């Protein structure tokens, strides 16, 4: 697919702003903002913020988030309370957004 946006060369550069906003409708603002930034750049900070925002969307209601946000040691089940269905839904959204298959082994390492 040819990208209709000149200069959009990040991992989400194939998507327009409207497409990103549509795919992330209802998700935390941090996920949307970071995904929009990922249209033109590939920053670890934006990738992490986007993924964290997607995970936040699938958290059980009433979950208290870590005050300092997620880190590399944050455990999805123990620290955030995500069950296997929530993790699967998160990964499906990541696959849809980034157009990349997430393998079961990769999920197990998270």
Q: Which of 19-23, 60-64, 85-89 has the highest mean pLDDT?
A: 19-23
Give the 3-state secondary structure of residue 28. coil
pLDDT exceeds cutoff 70 at 70: no
The pLDDT value given to residue 1: 39
Angle at 41 between CA 39 and CA 45, to 5 degrees: 105
pLDDT band at residue 69 using 50, 70 and 90 as cut-offs: low
The pLDDT value given to residue 72: 66
The pLDDT value given to residue 3: 43
Q: What is the mean pLDDT of residues 64-72?
A: 68
Measured from the Cβ of residue 22, the count of other Cβ atoms closer than 10 Å reads: 10
Measured from the Cβ of residue 17, the count of other Cβ atoms closer than 10 Å reads: 14
pLDDT band at residue 2 using 50, 70 and 90 as cut-offs: very low
Interval 7-31: pLDDT, tens: 567 889 999 999 999 999 999 999 9
The pLDDT value given to residue 80: 79
């Amino acid at each position: 697919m040819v990208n209709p946006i000149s200069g959009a060369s990040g991992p989400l550069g194939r998507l327009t702003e409207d497409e990103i906003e549509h795919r992330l409708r209802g998700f935390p603002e941090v996920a949307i903002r970071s995904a929009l930034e990922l249209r033109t750049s590939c920053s670890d900070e934006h990738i992490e913020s986007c993924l964290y925002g997607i995970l936040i969307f699938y958290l059980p209601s009433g979950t208290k988030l870590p005050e300092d946000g997620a880190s590399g040691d944050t455990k999805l089940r123990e620290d955030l309370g995500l069950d296997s269905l929530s993790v699967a839904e998160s990964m499906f959204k990541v696959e849809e957004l980034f157009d990349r298959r997430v393998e079961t082994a990769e999920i197990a390492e998270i």
